[in-house]
């Protein structure tokens, strides 16, 4: 699959890399095994990345589709349901920061494999453990697996495909968007086909997560020949200067950009269907509109990273996505039902700031270790920033009695999102900034 992809210049030197956990291993692009073995391993990595990405959002969007049934079934109050919408970014921030340390200790592939196992277990047990507390605990287990995998996917892409960061980030982002849209679109009809039980409708997604475990088990068991003796690897690691990521302005800009785009995404996933329903759109059509918004990420998530890696500055893409977001919010404010399909498409384009952010994470650091630190910092800080968004939208909606103020808030946040995105898109690396 990857043999036919065009090589892309990502402005990162292609050199021997070190596994971020355990003994040093040869760069997959360098000789360290037979050609057939390297080709088999590379294809297995591609399969693993795609299957992992498919599982990084169904735990959230499947719950959104059945939230009313879950609330009724568990006797969940409105305030607890509102808290539930903020649990994903909270878990992503809390657990994502642990990912680089775990990767150094056990290796990225092992941590992602454990993450897929955690997603499987969390999705399987949360509908059946009983009570709101058990449901939240099962959700947190699944979200923990998602959090560490979120952070380490750019690291794995950078390590295995250093000259194809755009293509592989696009493939990974496209699979993530596909999983997001599929869970939003098919959870309700699939639940009905399973007898109407919301417990079965949520638990069935554990099967997809279990399938994602298999290639990662094979990758964990597969060991490549060391590129250098372990003692030499340890000396190299000690000689590498510590990267003080908080000294980098680009890292901060990328973290804020990540947080603002995540705010928009979670508000869209949590509230957009309700906006359309309050405007007179039927429940079925509102769900379909949300699925269309999520599905826009499938083709664009593959195209945008490839374009981004060919540009010296990613600012123009940031601005174009922001303008689409402003137009979509303006349409929701002025004529939510009349142009519903157009607004859903525009907001779907705007939500593609996520794959752009992932691409910039891979481009703004030179080394695998730098990508790991930048990914953890940008995603953890970014998800912390995004936590208040869905809650604030709900508060404004409740107190104002309409969607005018919440939509105005989201449109207003697009302005700083574009500003920090332009700063994050400049051609520089966090290593250089931190050194200064």
| Structure confidence at residue 4 as a pLDDT band (50, 70, 90) | very low
pLDDT above 90: percentage of residues in the chain: 35
Neighbours of 119 (CB within 10 A): 29
Top-confidence residue, 20 or 326: 326
State the pLDDT at residue 292: 86
Q: Is the pLDDT of residue 64 over 60?
A: yes
Q: Is the pLDDT of residue 80 over 80?
A: no
Mean pLDDT of the residues in the chain = 82
Query: What values do phi and psi take at 264, rounded to 5?
Result: -60, -40
- Contact present, 356 and 314 (Cβ < 8 Å): yes
Which residue reads 């490839």 in tokens?
A: 306
Span of 47-51, 92-96, 215-219 with lowest mean pLDDT? 92-96
Per-residue pLDDT, averaged over 245-262, amounts to 93
Measured between alpha carbons, how far is 10 from 358 in angstroms, rounded to an integer? 13
Q: Is the pLDDT of residue 237 over 70?
A: no
- Contact present, 342 and 331 (Cβ < 8 Å): yes
Measured between alpha carbons, how far is 257 from 172 in angstroms, rounded to an integer? 20
* Both structure tokens of 182: 């599929």
State the pLDDT at residue 168: 87
Per-residue pLDDT, averaged over 62-91, amounts to 77
Span of 8-17, 70-79, 212-221, 321-330 with lowest mean pLDDT? 8-17
pLDDT digits 0-9 by tens, 101-130: 898 888 899 999 999 999 999 999 999 987
Q: Is the pLDDT of residue 239 over 70?
A: no
**Phi-psi label, residue 280: left if phi above 0, alpha if psi -120 to 50, beta otherwise:** left
pLDDT digits 0-9 by tens, 143-191: 999 999 988 988 888 888 888 877 888 888 888 888 888 887 788 888 8
Give the Cα-Cα-Cα angle 119, 124, 129 (nearest 5 degrees): 120
Per-residue pLDDT, averaged over 25-48, amounts to 66
The set of residues, in sequence order, having a beta carbon less than 8 Å from that of 167 and lying 6+ positions away, is 2, 5, 6, 8, 161, 305, 306
State the pLDDT at residue 162: 83
Measured between alpha carbons, how far is 330 from 349 in angstroms, rounded to an integer? 15
Which of 54-68, 229-243, 358-372, 404-418 holds the top average pLDDT?
A: 404-418
Which of 72-86, 92-106, 343-357 holds the top average pLDDT?
A: 343-357
pLDDT digits 0-9 by tens, 390-399: 778 878 887 8
Exposed, middle or buried by CB within 10 Å (0-12, 13-18, 19+), for 141?
buried
State the pLDDT at residue 30: 40
| Structure confidence at residue 82 as a pLDDT band (50, 70, 90) | low
* Both structure tokens of 91: 């878990």
| Structure confidence at residue 299 as a pLDDT band (50, 70, 90) | confident
The set of residues, in sequence order, having a beta carbon less than 8 Å from that of 342 and lying 6+ positions away, is 331
Q: Is the pLDDT of residue 213 over 60?
A: yes
The set of residues, in sequence order, having a beta carbon less than 8 Å from that of 270 and lying 6+ positions away, is 64, 85, 390, 393
Measured between alpha carbons, how far is 273 from 228 in angstroms, rounded to an integer? 55
């Amino acid at each position: 699959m990857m043999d036919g992809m065009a090589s892309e210049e990502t402005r990162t030197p292609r050199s021997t890399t070190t596994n971020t956990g355990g003994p040093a291993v040869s760069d997959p692009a360098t000789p360290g095994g037979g050609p057939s073995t390297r080709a088999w391993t590379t294809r297995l990595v591609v399969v693993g990345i795609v299957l992992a990405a498919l599982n990084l959002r169904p735990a959230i969007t499947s719950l959104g589709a059945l939230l009313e049934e879950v609330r009724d079934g568990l006797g969940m109050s409105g305030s607890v349901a509102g808290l539930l919408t903020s649990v994903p970014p909270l878990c992503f921030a809390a657990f994502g920061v642990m990912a680089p340390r775990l990767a150094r200790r056990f290796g990225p592939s092992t941590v992602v494999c454990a993450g897929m196992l955690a997603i499987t277990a969390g999705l399987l047990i949360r509908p059946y453990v009983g009570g709101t507390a058990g449901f939240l605990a099962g959700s947190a287990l699944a979200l923990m697996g998602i959090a560490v995998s979120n952070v380490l996917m750019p690291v794995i892409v950078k390590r295995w495909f250093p000259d194809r960061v755009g293509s592989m980030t696009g493939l990974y982002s496209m699979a993530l968007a596909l999983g997001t849209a599929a869970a939003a679109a098919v959870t309700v009809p699939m639940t009905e086909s399973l007898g109407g039980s919301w417990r079965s409708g949520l638990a069935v997604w554990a099967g997809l997560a279990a399938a994602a475990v298999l290639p990662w088990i094979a990758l964990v068991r597969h060991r490549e020949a060391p590129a250098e003796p372990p003692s030499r690897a340890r000396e190299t690691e000690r000689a590498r200067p510590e990267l003080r990521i908080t000294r980098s302005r680009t890292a901060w800009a990328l973290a804020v950009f990540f947080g603002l785009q995540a705010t928009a995404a979670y508000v869209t996933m949590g509230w957009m269907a309700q906006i359309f329903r309050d405007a007179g759109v039927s429940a079925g059509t509102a769900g379909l509109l949300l699925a269309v918004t999520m599905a826009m990420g499938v083709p664009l998530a593959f195209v945008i990273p490839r374009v981004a890696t060919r540009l010296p500055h990613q600012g123009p893409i940031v601005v174009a996505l922001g303008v689409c977001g402003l137009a979509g919010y303006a349409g929701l404010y002025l004529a939510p039902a009349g142009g519903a399909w157009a607004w859903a498409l525009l907001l779907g384009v705007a939500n593609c700031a996520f794959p752009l952010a992932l691409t910039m994470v891979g481009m703004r650091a030179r080394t695998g270790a730098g990508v790991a630190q930048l990914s953890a910092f940008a995603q953890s800080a970014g998800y912390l920033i995004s936590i208040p968004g869905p809650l604030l939208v709900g508060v404004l909606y409740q107190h104002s009695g309409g969607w005018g103020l919440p939509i105005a808030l989201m449109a207003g946040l697009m302005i700083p999102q574009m500003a920090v995105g332009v700063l994050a898109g400049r051609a520089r690396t966090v290593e250089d900034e931190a050194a200064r």
